[in-house]
């Protein structure tokens, strides 16, 4: 169904289909989902309906500029009870998260993905269903040690994982060997992974293609509530608190300080 630019109607329409036992995907740009926030809250989340939100143009979008940038969805969706939020690091993860969305009937779920091309990875015929709220360690520090011995961990959400790995290579050339992890989920958090990284490293950095108030804030809140914020140096890397002018995506992320 094509509802044109009536995003509010799209969300309520999807909610209605979900009440009738269908499995609707509601595909909307991140920036334009803001127009339908009231419908997301009252017609979907409050009813705990299994609507799948396919959130396109998440993060910075290049030539389309600030009006089309998807900077805020992690923050404005993550505060809603019962909402699940996923962000793939590449097209293979996107395939897995699409399969996960199809299989998830417990409530609303959002899959945010960027504008642009994939990495050229080989894709299977079907995606795997991921465990909800579980991330993965992509590269492990050469020797695990506690905070007193040092060590850096980078916990990335979404496509910035590639830049995190590049940064890890640059640090390795200087004698450091950071752990790099892919969070996969902004909500629910993989609290076991976060606590493991905080206990075994002196520095924990979160990285995301979103504003202040999103993934990094959720991680910091969990660390504070568990007392782990007292023992690890935590540094969130987010989009800056301003709008980024038109440019290439690479130049925009460089300006935002979110490249290697």
pLDDT digits (tens, 9 = 90+) for 107-116: 999 999 999 9
The model's confidence at residue 150, banded by pLDDT at 50, 70 and 90, is: confident
SS (H, E, C) 19-39: HCCCCCEEEEEHHHHHHHHHH
Give the contacts of 247 (CB within 8 A, at least 6 positions apart). Answer: 62, 63, 255
Structure confidence at residue 143 (pLDDT): 62
* Any domain includes 131: no
Specify whether 40 is located in the same domain as 96.
Answer: yes
b/e map of 141-173 (b: 16 or more CB within 10 Å)?
Answer: beeeeebeeebbbbbbbbbbbebbbebbeeeee
Provide the CATH number for the domain around residue 179.
3.40.50.920
pLDDT digits (tens, 9 = 90+) for 191-237: 999 999 999 999 999 999 999 999 999 999 999 999 999 999 999 99
Of the candidates 112, 146, 168, which is a domain's last residue?
A: 112
Q: Please state the domain count of the chain.
A: 2
Specify whether 182 is located in the same domain as 240.
Answer: yes
Q: What percent of the chain has pLDDT over 70?
A: 97
User: What's the predicted TM-score (pTM) here?
Assistant: 0.94
Provide the CATH number for the domain around residue 77.
3.40.50.970
Average pLDDT along the chain: 95
* Any domain includes 129: no
The model's confidence at residue 146, banded by pLDDT at 50, 70 and 90, is: very low
Specify whether 145 is located in the same domain as 202.
Answer: yes
Structure confidence at residue 2 (pLDDT): 92
Domain of residue 172, residue span: 136-256
Answer yes or no: is pLDDT of 144 > 80.
no
Interaxial angle between packed helices 191-200 and 215-226, expressed in degrees from 0 to 180 and rounded to the nearest 10: 70
Specify whether 156 is located in the same domain as 241.
Answer: yes
Specify whether 212 is located in the same domain as 140.
Answer: yes
* Any domain includes 85: yes
């Amino acid at each position: 169904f094509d509802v044109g630019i009536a995003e509010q109607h799209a969300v309520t329409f999807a909610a209605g289909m979900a009440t009738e036992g269908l499995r609707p995907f509601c595909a909307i740009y991140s920036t334009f989902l803001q127009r339908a926030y009231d419908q997301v809250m009252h017609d979907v989340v409050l009813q705990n309906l299994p609507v799948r939100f396919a959130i396109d143009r998440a993060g910075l979008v290049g030539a389309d500029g600030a009006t089309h940038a998807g900077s805020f969805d992690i923050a404005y969706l993550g505060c809603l009870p019962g909402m699940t939020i996923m962000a793939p690091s590449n097209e293979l993860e996107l395939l897995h998260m699409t399969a996960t969305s199809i299989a998830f009937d417990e409530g609303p779920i959002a899959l945010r993905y960027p504008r642009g091309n994939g990495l050229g990875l080989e894709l299977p015929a079907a995606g795997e269903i991921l465990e909800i709220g579980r991330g993965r360690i992509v590269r492990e520090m050469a020797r695990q040690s506690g905070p007193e011995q040092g060590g850096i961990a980078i916990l990335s959400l979404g496509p910035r994982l590639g830049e995190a790995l590049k940064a890890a290579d640059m640090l390795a050339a200087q004698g450091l060997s950071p752990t790099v992890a892919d969070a996969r989920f902004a909500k629910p958090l993989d609290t076991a992974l976060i606590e493991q990284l905080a206990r075994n490293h002196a520095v924990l950095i979160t990285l995301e293609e979103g504003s202040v108030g999103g993934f990094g804030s959720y991680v910091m809140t969990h660390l504070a509530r568990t007392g782990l914020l007292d023992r690890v140096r935590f540094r969130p890397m987010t989009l800056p608190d301003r709008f980024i002018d038109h440019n290439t995506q690479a130049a925009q992320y460089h300006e935002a300080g979110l490249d290697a």
